[in-house]
């Protein structure tokens, strides 16, 4: 999304005494705030062939990205869990995989910029996976099986992914904030209890907001029976926020679609609008299959970003991603279909008094 | 599991291969055997559900199975204190012998009546509950379990005598009424519980909750039976303990809020003749009609009160009692020379059913005179007469929004007291002529806001940024205040941005420009640019088709107001107007936008902490249904709004339907489910949280001085010093307990007394609320001036501060600044520290009255701020945030679980002190008390 993004990078300028010796840090460190504004749109793109197999090995030049019909230049590129790389005119620097994305704007000196870029690049590797689990009255039946399925999903997420586990009924519960420690997440899963009304879209909104405060790729996986009888916000608001934050939403419904047409409609459309997928998995096996599909998707998503070309449109901006070249034939591309730029004030502030997000997770991301 | 736990009460699993028996019980099995990838899966769903629901540490067990640390789970029985002996409960149930042989828990679980009796008796003081058991025994008390549950907590037997409301002086009256002597508690309690199916018990309980001073009036020998007979009526109907919840709280509100004049007579707004006329107003109630016939013989106010007792059993929102409570709140706030005239009282009563919810403004701003009140009602009726529904809704929205902004600016002191009436009339005046067209409504709105800004800032033209700055608070001279004011302004702007509302500057400039254009001035290009801003708002990307909305949210999805805005093309008219008249009338197209911006400023001002709808649903303000026609029942235009349309995914999101009255509470109600409780599925009751939150968001603290802030601390500390001293001094102890019993139910009063007698000062302090220690110090100082030997440094410092700054340290000043608003309890948004005990839950109110009777938060937050060196201005930020954190921590078990609130408040305070609440600036400004 093209959210205007404020990085408040706090770092220490070490004043050197003479040319060799560093003065004691406590005496010489001064704090300097450097504000770097980044307007960057990040896309998670799945590419599949006619048979539904993931197409791998594509290069930045294989993609054509337009925003409101205006061609965009891909700034960073990555595939699956590999680190995102800066795209030069010659394509991503494959000869130097360690040379990760660098911040292009701001007034940081080059050395500092390199360090920051390296740090940010490492954070871009892997995904931040937010799981949202329905623990409302609608989930009594099959509740323990659902827990098993989620636990299995968490265990199967390998690599550098970080996971947060939330559950909801009338209220949201942050069972485990974003962490690489799977045992913390499993503890969160196994301590959920069932009961109360269902406010799925309230909870999903909060989850999107939390996820949006993190750097790197992030996805939300919703495991829900579907019905919502208590939300104050409509699904449209959630979808727009997720689109603005560049967060695909994967939705697994444990109920047959025909039983709850409202929810099944939302699940399909919200996931499609954000670049995720919807699954209708009534049985335990179908649920496991859905989780496996999501896992597979995460491992094969291309991560592209661009800095939008001048565009006077302050409202909804549509995004299209197409493939060019021989490999494009018959391929299907899935990503979010647009975003609405948010005002700086709304996007940058509004951290709720207790967002539940670990403050050590770094600055908010640009998308 | 007990067997597995063995005599030491610990279930141990040291390795995976030992886990089989335990897993079998738990309903789980190993999916792929032992080893580092060992994982559990459900084998028996029912057992597994119980395992999870009971909080069994399954994840830890799973880690052991993967080769982690040995698993150990304490599974020993937890002793809990039991009321009386097990036999009392296992042999007493309605199921008779069926309970025999069960343990106590089984007996209570099997028999709801028995459980209710246990619950009721567990809330009595020990002497009373033991006496009841001795008098009657559990089986004979069982039929009265509902009465004891609702009305038993204030039954108190001390030293073998009933403690009755009014004390010893009232014993004979109670004896006559109950037909049993309070000296014989056994008979008295039996009569109390049984008489009139619980009505006497309800009466007794209600009067018991009053302060001794209040009780004197009601328990006079000639009044006690009269008022009771009125309450009881000719037809006792269903007893008050028969419903699931206590009936309407009107009886308790009446006796709590009844004000007496200097001669000890009840205050009567207007006069008795007016009330006779009020009772003669058309009423569906037979009881009201009957009392109306008697009213022409009324000679004194007691007779009116007697009728009000009778009306307290009527379940209505706009009966004579509700009118009396509201008008008393308005009149009681006024000095004797400015009481409401009989004509105004009559008028207010006549219009109460339609406009009564708006009267909260009159009770809050006592300076508004009869003329101002009358003008308001006249204008409101003019607006009501607008026949065009859309135009009327816009007029309602703009008018109420401007009145709401006037309230804010008057409350913050930015509209000087001397200008209250003139500014009020100037703001509402432009609407008095009616609005035959939208263009004229635009003119009225513009004139009205101009008068508003003039009253608050001295000039009629303010930019939106200036308006926001004005709403954020008065100008501040110190950096702390300036920073906080800026933060509040930014929050208002965030909401306006989140709602994507068009700037006031643009809208008013468009109106002016269109006029100029109509007069032939060349401003077209500028206007086209401004008009373009109206087009920037886009509806959210639809997720449903129209037919889907019709099918899945019929009657709920109505975005007519917003959709009209998206279709408004002012630029087209500006570019090629067909006539001068069209240009003039084009101002009307701006009206819907203007309404939303003005309403949005009201919403933004009262933004609850942690709000999400306000920031993420751009239709929330636009969807406010001022016509009230979408809400069930209709006719809500002037009533407190309802949250409408939640839980309907195809409905476009919830919105408010009704007026802007009680907006702080209703917004908090809408946003409360975005607060994330720390405990899984913590019980946060819907009426409690909005009450707490609105008590934190409505008050502003710009006028609070450091001396005041410090005095709040000193009052609480002095109260603690008095409690501490009372542990060693029997005479003082009795005095302290007498004062505290005015705020505590008998059980807690007894607990505090026992702790003090045992020298357990910390325990006694832990049971006292900040509001109670504050009250104790204030009352003690007032009742026993000069007796300063019982307190320590804090009391001495308070004395010194009080001598030097008597006004700032006075109860009145601190009550005005640190009290909470009581729109439901006292029909006013004025801040006040009420001398009441925590209110119980009532039907229709749930825990709202409890929240309003809870005044400890702001006192406690103020003390924290003072002790940590924050400036008073920081309260504007601290109070909402700390209240938010407190709500996250509330883990209540029942509707009246105020101890859960106390725990949550103290935990929040501890975290704040230790720096764990990081959203609040750590750098405090340390300034010594001047």
Give the tens place of pLDDT for each residue, B443-464: 999 999 999 999 999 999 999 9
Residue B776: phi and psi, rounded to 5, are -60, -50
Residue of B27, B31, B38, B42 best to disrupt the A interface, most CBs of A under 10 A: B42
Kindly identify which residue of chain A lies nearest to residue B48, measuring between CA atoms: A144
- Chain B hits for A196, Cβ within 8 Å: 681
The answer, yes or no, to whether residue B97 has pLDDT greater than 60, is no
Confidence band for B518, pLDDT divided at 50, 70 and 90: confident
pLDDT of residue A87: 86
Separation in Å, CA A7 to CA A39, A58, A120, A121, A209: 11, 31, 12, 15, 17
Q: Is residue B355 helix, strand or coil?
A: helix
Least confident segment among A108-112, B11-15, B248-252, B913-917: A108-112
Quote the distance between the C-alpha of residue A243 and its chain's center. Answer: 10
> B458 versus B576: which is more confidently predicted?
B458
A233 interfaces chain B, CB cutoff of 8 Å: yes
A313 interfaces chain B, CB cutoff of 8 Å: no
pLDDT of residue B631: 59
Q: Is residue A355 helix, strand or coil?
A: coil
Q: Do B676 and A172 touch (CB under 8 A)?
A: yes
pLDDT of residue A312: 85
Q: Over pLDDT 70: what percentage of chain B?
A: 96
pLDDT of residue B35: 87
Kindly identify which residue of chain B lies nearest to residue A316, measuring between CA atoms: B538
The size of the A-B interface in CB pairs under 8 A is 189
**Are A30 and A298 spatial neighbours (Cβ–Cβ below 8 Å)?**
no
Neighbours of B928 (CB within 10 A): 7
pLDDT of residue B921: 65
Q: Do B647 and A228 touch (CB under 8 A)?
A: yes
SS3 track for B38-86: CCEEECCHHHHHHHHHCCCCHHHHHHHHCCCCCEEEECCCCCCCCCCCH
Residue of B28, B32, B40, B52 best to disrupt the A interface, most CBs of A under 10 A: B52
Quote the distance between the C-alpha of residue B906 and its chain's center. Answer: 20
**Look-up of token digits 């009466």:** B203
Neighbours of A149 (CB within 10 A): 27
Q: How far apart are the first and last CA of chain A?
A: 5
Give the mean model confidence (pLDDT) for residues B588-616.
97
A346 interfaces chain B, CB cutoff of 8 Å: yes
How near does any CA of chain A get to the CA of B658, in Å?
17
A158 interfaces chain B, CB cutoff of 8 Å: no
Residues B84-96 have pLDDT tens digits of 999 999 988 666 5
Residues B291-301 have pLDDT tens digits of 999 998 899 99
Give the mean model confidence (pLDDT) for residues B810-820.
96
Picking from A332, A334, A320, the residue whose alpha carbon sits closest to that of residue A69 is: A320
A192 interfaces chain B, CB cutoff of 8 Å: yes
Q: For residue A68, what are the contacts with CB-CB under 8 A and spacing of at least 6? A: A311, A313, A317, A318
Q: Do B552 and A202 touch (CB under 8 A)?
A: no
How near does any CA of chain A get to the CA of B613, in Å?
6
Which of A194, A228, A232 lies at the smallest CB-CB distance from B613?
A: A232
pLDDT of residue B94: 66
Q: Do B647 and A151 touch (CB under 8 A)?
A: no
Domains defined along chain A, listed by start: 4-80+83-124+301-353 (no CATH), 127-286 (3.40.50.410)
Residues B242-285 have pLDDT tens digits of 998 898 899 999 999 999 998 999 999 999 999 999 999 877 88
Q: Do B62 and A190 touch (CB under 8 A)?
A: yes
Q: What's the predicted TM-score (pTM) here?
A: 0.91
pLDDT of residue A286: 87
The answer, yes or no, to whether residue B698 has pLDDT greater than 50, is yes
Q: Do A201 and B670 touch (CB under 8 A)?
A: no
Confidence band for B371, pLDDT divided at 50, 70 and 90: very high
Which of A148, A171, A199 lies at the smallest CB-CB distance from B42?
A: A148
pLDDT of residue B633: 57
> B324 versus A348: which is more confidently predicted?
B324
Strand-pairing partners, residue A127, are A217
A146 interfaces chain B, CB cutoff of 8 Å: no
Q: Do B63 and A351 touch (CB under 8 A)?
A: no
Residues B151-202 have pLDDT tens digits of 999 999 999 999 999 999 999 999 999 999 999 999 999 999 999 999 999 9
Which of B53, B494, B647 lies at the smallest CB-CB distance from A231?
A: B647
Within 269-298 of A, beta carbons closer than 8 Å to B belong to: 269-270, 273
pLDDT of residue A18: 29
- Report chain B's mean pLDDT, rounded to a whole number: 92
Give the mean model confidence (pLDDT) for residues B884-905.
92
Q: Do B673 and A350 touch (CB under 8 A)?
A: no
Strand-pairing partners, residue A166, are A132, A174
Q: Do A171 and B676 touch (CB under 8 A)?
A: yes
CA torsion angle for B49, B51, B55, B56 (degrees, to 10)?
Answer: -150
Half-sphere exposure of B770 (CA within 13 A, CB side): 23
Confidence band for B679, pLDDT divided at 50, 70 and 90: confident
A343 interfaces chain B, CB cutoff of 8 Å: yes
pLDDT of residue A124: 41
pLDDT of residue B488: 97
Give the mean model confidence (pLDDT) for residues B686-714.
95
**Are B650 and B549 spatial neighbours (Cβ–Cβ below 8 Å)?**
yes
pLDDT of residue A342: 74
Q: Which two tokens stand for residue B476?
A: 């501040």
DSSP structure class, residue A55: P
Determine the longest span between alpha carbons in chain B, in angstroms.
Answer: 98
Residue A100: phi and psi, rounded to 5, are -90, -175
Kindly identify which residue of chain B lies nearest to residue A206, measuring between CA atoms: B674
Give the mean model confidence (pLDDT) for residues B843-848.
82
- Chain B hits for A191, Cβ within 8 Å: 52, 55, 59, 680
How near does any CA of chain B get to the CA of A343, in Å?
7
Residues B757-806 have pLDDT tens digits of 999 999 999 999 999 999 999 999 999 998 878 888 999 999 999 999 99
Q: How far apart are the first and last CA of chain B?
A: 65
pLDDT in tens, chain A (367 residues): 333 333 322 222 222 222 223 333 333 333 434 333 447 898 999 999 988 899 999 999 999 999 999 999 999 999 887 878 888 765 444 434 333 333 333 233 333 333 333 333 333 457 899 999 999 998 888 899 999 999 999 998 877 689 999 999 999 999 999 999 999 999 999 999 998 899 999 999 999 999 999 888 899 999 998 899 999 999 999 999 999 999 999 999 987 767 789 999 999 999 999 999 999 988 878 888 999 999 889 889 999 999 999 888 888 999 999 999 887 888 999 999 999 887 655 544 433 433 333 333 333 333 3
> B873 versus B582: which is more confidently predicted?
B873
Q: Do A233 and B654 touch (CB under 8 A)?
A: yes
What's the CA gap between A238 and A247, in Å, rounded? 11
Give the mean model confidence (pLDDT) for residues B76-87.
90
Q: Do B49 and A202 touch (CB under 8 A)?
A: no
How near does any CA of chain B get to the CA of A354, in Å?
8
Least confident segment among A80-94, B69-83, B445-459, B575-589: A80-94
Q: At what angle do helices B587-605 and B479-498 cross, to 10 degrees?
A: 130
Q: Do B653 and A234 touch (CB under 8 A)?
A: yes
């Amino acid at each position: 999304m093209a959210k205007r993004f404020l990085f408040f990078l706090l770092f220490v300028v070490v004043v050197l005494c003479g040319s060799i010796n560093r003065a004691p840090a406590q005496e010489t460190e001064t704090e300097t705030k450097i504000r770097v504004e980044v307007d960057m749109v990040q896309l998670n793109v799945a590419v599949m062939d006619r048979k539904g197999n993931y197409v791998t090995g594509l290069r930045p030049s294989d993609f054509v990205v337009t925003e409101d019909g205006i061609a965009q230049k891909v700034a960073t590129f990555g595939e699956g869990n590999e680190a995102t790389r800066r795209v030069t005119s010659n394509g991503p620097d494959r000869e130097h995989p360690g040379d990760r994305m660098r911040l292009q704007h701001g007034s940081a000196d080059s050395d500092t910029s390199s360090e920051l870029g390296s740090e940010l690049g490492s954070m871009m590797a892997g995904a931040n996976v937010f799981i949202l689990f329905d623990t409302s009255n609608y989930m009594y039946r099959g509740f323990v099986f659902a827990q098993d399925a989620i636990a299995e999903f968490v265990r199967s997420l390998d690599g550098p992914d970080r996971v947060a586990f939330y559950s909801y009924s009338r209220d949201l519960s942050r069972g485990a904030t974003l962490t690489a420690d799977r045992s913390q997440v499993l503890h969160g899963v196994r301590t959920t209890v069932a009961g109360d009304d269902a406010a799925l879209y309230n909870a999903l909104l909060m989850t999107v907001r939390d996820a949006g405060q993190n750097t790197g790729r992030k996805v939300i996986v919703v495991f829900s029976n579907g019905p919502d009888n208590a939300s104050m916000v409509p699904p449209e608001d959630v979808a727009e926020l997720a689109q603005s934050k560049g967060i695909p939403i994967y939705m697994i419904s444990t109920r047959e679609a025909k039983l709850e047409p409202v929810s099944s409609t939302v699940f399909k459309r919200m996931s499609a609008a954000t670049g995720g997928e919807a699954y209708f998995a009534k049985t335990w096996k179908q649920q496991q299959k859905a989780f496996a599909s999501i896992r597979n998707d995460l491992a094969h998503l291309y991560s592209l970003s661009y800095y939008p070309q001048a565009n006077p449109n302050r409202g909804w901006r549509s995004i299209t991603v197409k493939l060019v070249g021989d490999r494009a034939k018959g391929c299907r591309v899935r990503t979010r279909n647009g975003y609405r730029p948010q005002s700086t004030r709304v996007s940058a502030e509004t951290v709720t008094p207790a967002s539940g997000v670990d403050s050590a997770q770094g600055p908010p991301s640009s998308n | 599991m007990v067997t597995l736990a063995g005599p030491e009460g610990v279930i141990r699993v040291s390795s995976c291969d030992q886990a089989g028996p335990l897993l079998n019980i738990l309903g789980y099995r190993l999916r792929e055997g032992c080893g580092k990838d060992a994982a559990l899966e459900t084998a028996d769903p029912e057992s597994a559900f119980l395992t999870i629901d009971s909080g069994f540490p399954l994840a830890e067990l799973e880690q052991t199975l993967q080769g982690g640390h040995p698993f150990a789970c304490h599974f020993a029985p937890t002793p809990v204190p039991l009321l009386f002996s097990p036999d009392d409960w296992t042999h007493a149930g309605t199921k008779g012998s069926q309970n025999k042989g069960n343990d106590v828990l089984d007996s209570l679980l099997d028999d709801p009546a028995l459980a209710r009796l246990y619950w009721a008796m567990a809330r009595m003081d020990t002497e009373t509950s033991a006496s009841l058991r001795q008098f009657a025994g559990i089986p004979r008390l069982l039929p009265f379990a509902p009465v004891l549950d609702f009305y038993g907590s204030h039954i108190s037997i001390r030293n073998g005598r009933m403690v009755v409301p009014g004390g010893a002086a009232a014993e004979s009256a109670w004896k006559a009424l109950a037909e049993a002597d309070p000296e014989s508690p056994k008979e008295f309690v039996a009569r109390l519980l049984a008489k009139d199916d619980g009505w006497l018990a309800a009466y007794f309980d209600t009067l018991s909750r009053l302060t001794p001073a209040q009780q004197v009036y009601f328990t006079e020998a000639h009044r006690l039976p009269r008022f009771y007979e009125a309450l009881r009526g000719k037809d006792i109907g269903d007893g008050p303990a028969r419903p699931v919840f206590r009936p309407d709280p009107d009886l308790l509100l009446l006796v709590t809020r009844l004000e007496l004049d200097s001669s000890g007579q009840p205050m009567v707004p207007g006069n008795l003749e007016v009330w006779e006329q009020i009772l003669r107003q058309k009423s569906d109630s037979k009881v009201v009609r009957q009392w109306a016939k008697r009213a022409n013989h009324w000679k004194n106010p007691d007779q009116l009160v007697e009728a009000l007792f009778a009306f307290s059993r009527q379940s209505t929102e706009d009966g004579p009692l509700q009118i009396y409570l509201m008008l008393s709140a308005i009149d009681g706030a006024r000095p004797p020379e400015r009481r409401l005239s009989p004509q105004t009282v009559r008028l207010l009563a006549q219009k109460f059913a339609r406009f009564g919810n708006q009267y909260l403004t009159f009770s809050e701003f006592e300076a508004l005179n009869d003329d101002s009140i009358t003008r308001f009602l006249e204008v409101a009726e003019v607006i009501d007469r607008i026949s065009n529904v859309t135009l009327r809704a816009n007029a309602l929205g703009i008018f109420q929004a401007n009145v709401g902004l006037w309230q804010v600016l008057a409350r913050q002191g930015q509209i000087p007291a001397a200008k209250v009436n003139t500014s009020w009339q100037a703001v509402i005046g432009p609407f008095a002529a009616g609005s035959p067209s939208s263009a004229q409504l635009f003119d009225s709105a513009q004139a009205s806001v101009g008068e508003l800004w003039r009253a608050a800032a001295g000039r009629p033209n303010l930019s939106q940024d200036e308006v926001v700055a004005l709403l954020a608070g008065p100008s501040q001279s110190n950096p702390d205040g300036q920073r906080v004011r800026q933060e509040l302004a930014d929050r208002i702007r965030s909401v306006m941005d989140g709602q994507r509302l068009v700037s006031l500057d643009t809208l008013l400039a468009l109106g002016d420009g269109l006029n100029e254009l109509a007069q032939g001035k060349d401003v077209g290009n500028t206007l086209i640019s401004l008009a373009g801003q109206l087009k920037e708002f886009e509806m959210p990307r639809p997720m449903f088709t129209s037919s889907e909305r019709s099918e899945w949210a019929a009657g709920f999805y109505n975005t007519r107001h917003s959709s009209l805005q998206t279709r408004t093309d002012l630029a087209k008219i500006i570019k090629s107007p067909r006539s001068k008249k069209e240009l003039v009338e084009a101002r009307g197209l701006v009206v819907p936008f203007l309404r939303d911006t003005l309403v949005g400023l009201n919403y933004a001002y009262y933004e609850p902490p942690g709000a999400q709808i306000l920031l993420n649903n751009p239709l929330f303000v636009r969807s406010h249904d001022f016509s009230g026609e979408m809400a069930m029942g209709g006719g809500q235009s002037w009533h407190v709004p309802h949250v409408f349309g939640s839980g309907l995914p195809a409905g476009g999101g919830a919105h408010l339907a009704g007026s802007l009255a009680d907006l702080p509470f209703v917004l908090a109600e809408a946003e409360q489910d975005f607060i994330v409780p720390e405990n899984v599925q913590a019980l946060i009751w819907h009426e409690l949280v909005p009450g707490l939150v609105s008590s934190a968001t409505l008050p502003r603290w710009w006028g609070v001085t450091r001396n005041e802030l410090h005095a709040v601390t000193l009052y609480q500390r002095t109260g603690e010093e008095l409690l501490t001293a009372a542990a060693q001094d029997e005479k003082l102890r009795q005095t302290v307990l007498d004062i505290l019993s005015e705020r505590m139910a008998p059980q807690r009063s007894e607990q505090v007394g026992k702790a003090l007698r045992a020298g357990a000062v910390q325990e006694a302090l832990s049971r006292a609320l900040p509001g109670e220690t504050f009250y104790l110090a204030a009352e003690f100082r007032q009742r026993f001036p000069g007796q300063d030997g019982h307190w320590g440094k804090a009391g001495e410092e308070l004395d010194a501060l009080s001598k030097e700054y008597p006004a700032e340290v006075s109860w009145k000043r601190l009550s005005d600044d640190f009290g909470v608003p009581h729109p439901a309890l006292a029909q006013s948004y004025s801040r006040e520290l009420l001398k009441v005990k925590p209110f119980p839950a009532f039907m229709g109110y749930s825990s709202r009255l409890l929240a309003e009777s809870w005044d400890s938060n702001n006192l406690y937050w103020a003390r924290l701020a003072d002790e940590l060196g924050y400036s008073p201005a920081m309260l504007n930020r601290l109070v909402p945030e700390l209240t938010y954190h407190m709500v996250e921590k509330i883990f209540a078990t029942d509707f009246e679980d105020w101890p859960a609130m106390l725990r949550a408040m103290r935990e929040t305070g501890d975290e704040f002190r230790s720096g764990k609440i990081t959203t609040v600036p750590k750098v405090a400004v340390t300034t010594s008390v001047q």
